[in-house]
Amino acid sequence: MKTTLLSYMACLAGLLLLMQCSPRPVHNTSPAPVAGVLLGVQERTAFRQPPFQHWFDSFYQAYTVQTAAIASLKKVWQNEQVDIFLGTWCGDSRREVPRMLKVLDSLGVPASNIRLICTKSGQPGHKTSPGREEQGLYIFRVPTFIIRRHHLELGRIVEFPVATLEKDLLDIVSGAPYESNYRAGNYIRRLFDVKSPELINDSLPVVAAALKPLARNEGELSSFGSVLLSAGDYSRAITVFRLNTLLFAEKADSWHWLAEGYRRNHDRDKAIVAYERTLALQPGLTLARQRLDSLKAL
């Protein structure tokens, strides 16, 4: 996940799954595991049941809270609320969520100020919750920790801390400069909050230029767009994929996702062009070839 190769493999795996097939309502779901995972808003007691208890307790007990940072946090903490979006299927969630809960326990944060929202893996609905608590929040990596004050978002920690959980929380709550991981995704997320896909499409080169120093590799925006695509938000997904092809025009993965976006949106001609570009860059992609042949046969 931390390297271009792993990001590429993860995105291709997600694409294969995709071919087989990111005021919100709040619905609690049963803490009983569904096919070995938890889904929806859960009580903490759900993580004290097999098969979750082993990894939850292991990471919780092994983590050493930074007491000096906790002392500083207590001076600025103002009854903030924390929404935790996670996947019990996700290694990063299994590691970071127990650690975060131990930090929040050390702060004395009441359970009523913490929401644990478990998302699904795979298509359709990758990284969504049955109650759609993630809707409009652009949760493209899990875990994502959203910190709110009076229900307004102060900031978020995405997947893993920039420094430490304690230091990241302190920066967010105190108003210090803070930028979470996956800066390109965060930039797009904020842009979608104020602009429609149509307005962004009118200035794609300008947006791409702003994104260029932020994007680590093509996998970051592919991941962001794939979650939107899975949620049926085709216009935003295609905008993200188009930006990705401007940033990483030489990467087959960028064009493959754009082709899939057009195909899902029933834009045959544009999908054909994008699949042809994909195969020009990487001729051995069997799935892209199959999709292209099927579209041309229509």
Give how far Cα 38 sits from Cα of 24, 41, 116, 210, 258, Å: 20, 9, 10, 38, 31
Q: What is the pLDDT at residue 170?
A: 98
Q: Which residue has the higher pLDDT, 32 or 160?
A: 160
Structure tokens at 113: 């100020």
With residue 82 as reference, give the H or E element that holds it: strand 81-86
Q: State how far the Cα of 293 lies from the Cα of 287, in Å rounded to an integer.
A: 10
pTM of the model: 0.85
CA distance readout (Å), 175 to 150, 199, 214 = 15, 30, 22
Is the confidence at residue 21, as pLDDT, over 80?
Answer: no
DSSP bridge partners of 177:
none
The residue-averaged pLDDT of 41-61 equals: 97
As a whole number, mean pLDDT of residues 183-189 equals: 97
DSSP 3-state of 266: coil
Task: Categorize the per-residue pLDDT at 35 as very low, low, confident or very high, splitting at 50, 70 and 90.
Answer: low
Task: Give the mean pLDDT of 63-90.
Answer: 98
Residue of higher predicted confidence among 11 and 273 = 273
The confidence band for 34, taking pLDDT boundaries of 50, 70 and 90, is low
Q: Between 23 and 261, whose confidence is greater?
A: 261
Q: How confident is the model at residue 214 (pLDDT cuts 50, 70, 90)?
A: very high
- Is the pLDDT at 73 greater than 80, yes or no? yes
In angstroms, the Cα distances linking 284 to 10, 76, 231, 252 are 18, 55, 29, 11
pLDDT at 71: 98
Contact 99, 58 (CB under 8 A): no
Give 25's pLDDT tier (boundaries 50, 70, 90).
very low
* pLDDT greater at residue 40 or residue 33: 40
Domains in the chain (CATH in brackets) are 20-181 (3.40.30.10), 184-296 (1.25.40.10)
User: Position of tokens 């939850």?
Assistant: 56
The pLDDT of residue 122: 87
Taking 60 as the threshold, does the pLDDT of residue 22 lie above it?
no
Q: What is the mean pLDDT of residues 161-183?
A: 98
* Residue-wise pLDDT tens digits, 249-298: 999 999 999 999 999 999 999 999 999 999 999 999 999 999 999 999 99
Average pLDDT of the chain to the nearest whole number: 90
Q: Is the bond preceding 50 in cis, omega lying within 30 degrees of 0?
A: no
CA dihedral of residues 57, 181, 179, 47 (deg, nearest 10)? -20
Q: Is residue 3 scored above 80 in pLDDT?
A: no
pLDDT tens profile 86-142: 999 999 999 999 999 999 999 999 999 999 999 999 888 899 999 999 999 999 999
Mean predicted confidence (pLDDT) in 28-53: 80
Place of tokens 């390109």: 184
pLDDT at 33: 45
